[in-house]
A and B are shown apart, each in its own frame.
Chain A
């Protein structure tokens, strides 16, 4: 591209961005450079993100299922994955530790965790986690702790199926995949509220 073409391209971008930039004019977060005629512009630092880099790093899974890969797994298959890859830290049945307890529905009534500090160690996937999709997101990004990201998609779906089955949330024959996982309704789903602290005289 000739220098003139680059300059024309930049001018078009500035013009296209003008309306959006006006909306940001009052924001205090950072300083944009001044462009021609006082119009703000970009610095042009950085490089366009390569598609393969985005694909490799974009590992999150949202509550709407966005980001879930193809694959499937059942509690039966997950039992084997759990025994070999997870049980050393979470215990043979997901309750013994030494690290986080994963299985357990007690206390079944009332979500009383705010009332007693003794209940903190009793939090599990079954009684506290509001979204099943978080299991896929977290296992893929961080588990097993000694080799994060090493489970295949099928293994991940399978171990999730096992954890949900052990928590009495899905049946023993459940098949977990991108379609079914997002439809799982977690027992604690309705318990979470947005922060209502505002400052001022009220203690919350």
Chain B
């Protein structure tokens, strides 16, 4: 099994030759579904190079690079990070809608920013270091 780290989650999926995986796993990991037009999410489809699809298998590395996102592998190829494409991050911020997130509180309870809709939020970072 290969570990895939996305900006918001961690998955373990079966892969071969890099990041070739079933279309079902590709959808689970990326949120994009394989269709005849390419990889699709909501109304948007991104055509895939012919070499990046074989039957119901997808080369997620090629797809992610096509999206403009960074793909970084561990030395052993057993862990991969798929980073958010810069354009996607900029577009999300430019609409000025605060990107939503869920993080655990100090006791492990998950908290989601959008639960606070209706209140002003002062979102601040800190660290021990």
- Genuine A/B complex: no
Interface residues of A (CB under 8 A from B): none
